[in-house]
Structures are given as structure tokens and as C-alpha cells.
Amino acid sequence: MRVRRCQTLLIEPRESLDFDLQDLTQGGDGLRSRLRWVALAPHLDAERELSQAELLALGAIGSHRWVGIDELDSSHDAEVLHELQLCGLLISDSPAHAAHASKEQQHRDGHWHGLSAVMHSFGRWQDVDSAESMDREGSRTLAELVNKLGTPPPHYHPNLEGAAMRPLPRQDEDDFDALLARRTTCRNFDIDTQLPLAQFSQLLQRCFATQGTYEAAPGATILKKHSPSGGGLHATEAYLLVQRVEDISPGLYHYHGGAHALARLEGPDMSLDALALTFVAGQHWFSPAHVLVVLAPRFTRSFWKYRNHAKAYRALVLDVGHLSQTLYLSATEMGLGAFVTAAINEVDIERVLGLDPAHEGPLAICGFGPRAAQRNMVEFDPQGRVWPTNP
């Protein structure tokens, strides 16, 4: 049997402080420090605390060359090597550990940059109710946050205070300026109405449909859409949770940007409103939107070009931001409300949609639909462009 260390591994030292009465009575500060070493490997589902012996073994075994386990027994405890194989930090060619080897190989083949892979994997949520957390922690309003955290940094950069500046002439507002002024996050959707099919179709066409193609090389096609994308690859997929659209059966769909068409997906055995609430991590002001759009990049399409690139993941995050702004402006022009949130339960979404997080995964969710007639949830509209009279 042969082994090698997993290719992407971040080992983080973590210090915790506990109250120590004995230390306090002996004249100390009453704190006891404990240092732990925690392994973060993106092909695994959870972090793992390491013993000193495991830490030393991982530091001595390479990630590229296979080494016979019998060659390591003389320098490392056999039980330590066995535990590292069981948890997947030490990759084995034994059939007994094939599951870990397969998942780790996917990350190797996917050309992830190491730090990006760790950040992406361990930034994902599962079964989080962010609204309940805000209520519990007293952090729902800005006033509560100031009371808890203190005054935030100044809203304008302090280096500009007292600086010599050249005033610029204010220009008259045109129609596009008026559109931008009406763009605000919607937290009040009209659950008693259906979104017209024409508006639904036009918004998807504007935001996600392919506007043109160019085959740069055999088998390598660059796409033109209404939003920019790193390398012209447009790796972000749109998965839709449709709740109230005329002539479209409620359910889960995958949008095809080339065909401008929907592919129906099988959903779990639960109501759509409960599924929507799970997707947006308990944000009940977003979940009733007529359509929720999961923005999920295909990492392998981007990383095909930007292999192990330190900026590749950042470009995908930018892609998702561009798409959300195009959706915001398109919805606003149609008189619809829209939102975007990164506070989502990625792991739950991946399981529902059948996504392999090494290859494809959600970064954000957008939603859109008709606004309600009354504003029950607060919306930030200081100019009164959307809610001129309704408190």
C-alpha cells in the first residue's frame, strides 16, 4: 500500500483562553491558554484537530510522490498513519480509502488555487437560519449593531477630511439616472400575484441569455452576454426556484442560456416555500420572491484557463456581482423588485441541485417579482423613489 499527503491542506494554529481560578489566586491574570492545530482540507466535509504526532507526520510526507507505507513505519507511529488515512488527510491507494482518494483527485484535476479552495469550502453554510441568529445576537438593526460593536469606521475615507479637492459640476438627471435611483433591494413581495410570463422571459433573456458566440479554437467557444465575465467564459449557471410565474409550473429549473429555455429538475419532498427559506438561510423577507435564482459558477470551466491561479476565484465572485446588478437594473426597469444575498445555505443547495462542490457551487442568490402594495419590512429608499408615501 502507498500513501501521499493530500495536495491542498491549510494547518491553522488556534488559541483559546479559559478562566483559571488557580492561576488567579497565585497572582496570575486568571487565564489559561490552549493551542490547537486544526487541519483544513477542501476535499473533506469538516476540519480536524491534529495531534503533535499527526502534525509532524503530515509535515514530513509529500503530496506528489507515492511512498510505500512500510517505508514510513520506521519513522512514524503506525497508528498515527492509520488515523490520517481514515480521516482523508493522508491519501492511500488502498480500495478501503477510495472515497477520500476520489474526492481529493477531483480537487487536483479541478486546478483550484489552494487558498481559494480552502476559503470556498469552509465558507459554505448548512442549516443556518441567519434571521434567527440576528434576533438572538441583537444585530438586526444598525442601532443594535452600534450598541453592540461601537461606532463603525467613518462613512467617507478619513484621508479625504480636509484635503484640497476639485469640485465637479453636477449634471441634470436623465432617464438612466432615474432608473439607478429606483434600484433598491426589495423585501416586500406580493405573494398574491403571478409574475407575467413575458416579464419572466425577458428578464432571463437580458441577464443570462447568450447574445453571441465565437469559436476561438476547435471546441473552445467564447460567449457574449450583457454582463462581463473573466476570459469571456461565462462560467456561472442560473438555477431557478420558480414559485409564482404565469404558465410555468412551480418547481426547480436549470436555465439554458443558448436555447433560452428551462430544464425541469427533480426537487426534494418538501414545500417550495420551505425550500426557498432554506436556500436563503432563513431570510423570510427574501424567500417569498416569485423567482429565486441560484448563481452557481462551474469552477472547472474557469479554472481550465486560469489553472491554480490566485485571481481565478476572485474573478468568479466578480462575475456573480455583475450578473446580480444586471438583474437588479432589468427588474427595476420592468417595475419589479429584486434582491441579491450571499447569506445562503450552500451545502443544502448543492444537495438539492445535485452539485459537486469541487466542480460547481452556489455563491449567491438573486430574486425578483412584483412588489407588495404595502411595505411591511423595511427597505432602504432614502430618496423616496420607490416608497414615496408608504411608511
User: What 3-state DSSP class applies to 136?
Assistant: helix
pLDDT in tens, 49-84: 999 999 999 999 999 999 988 888 778 889 999 999
* pLDDT: which is higher, 315 or 142: 315
Q: Which of 26-30, 206-210, 250-254 has the lowest mean pLDDT?
A: 26-30
pLDDT at 24 over 80: no
> Residue 183 — very low, low, confident or very high, per pLDDT cuts 50/70/90?
very high
Q: Does 280 score more than 90 pLDDT?
A: yes
Confidence of residue 147 (pLDDT cuts 50, 70, 90): confident
Q: pLDDT digits over 103-118, tens only?
A: 999 999 999 999 999 9
- Model confidence band, residue 122 (pLDDT cutoffs 50, 70, 90): very high
Residue type at position 283:
Q
Higher pLDDT, 145 or 40: 40
Residue type, 149: L
Cell representation of residue 113: 488555487
So what's the pLDDT on residue 294?
98
Task: Identify which has the larger pLDDT, 32 or 353.
Answer: 353
> What SS3 class is residue 37?
strand
The answer to whether 106 and 43 have CB atoms below 8 angstroms apart is yes
pLDDT for the residue 169: 96
Q: What angle do CA 252, 253, 258 make, to 5 degrees?
A: 170
The alpha-helical segments, DSSP class H, found in 3-97 are: 21-25, 52-60, 69-72, 78-87
What's the predicted TM-score (pTM) here?
Answer: 0.92
pLDDT at 88: 96
Q: What is the pLDDT of residue 145?
A: 85
Phi-psi region of 260 (alpha: psi -120 to 50; beta: other; left: phi over 0): left
Query: Mutual orientation of helices 312-333 and 197-208 as an angle, nearest 10°?
Result: 150
CB 273 within 8 A of CB 243: yes
User: 36, 13 in Cβ contact below 8 A?
Assistant: yes
Q: Where is average pLDDT lowest: 125-134, 307-316, 328-337?
A: 125-134
Q: Report pLDDT for 69.
A: 87
CA distance 56 to 200: 57
Which of 179-183, 221-225, 327-331, 385-389 comes out lowest in average pLDDT? 385-389
Whether the pLDDT of residue 391 is over 80: the answer is no
Q: Which of 234, 358, 236 minimizes the C-alpha distance to 296? A: 236
Q: What is the pLDDT of residue 148?
A: 87
- The mean predicted confidence, pLDDT, of the chain is 93
Say what the pLDDT of residue 142 is.
81
381-385 average pLDDT score: 90
Residue 390: is its pLDDT beyond 70?
Answer: no
pLDDT (mean) for 282-311? 97
Contact 47, 38 (CB under 8 A): yes
- What are residue 311's DSSP bridge partners? none
Please report the pLDDT score of residue 75 as a whole number. 83
How far is it, in rounded angstroms, from Cα 120 to Cα 151? 30
378 grid coordinates: 423595511
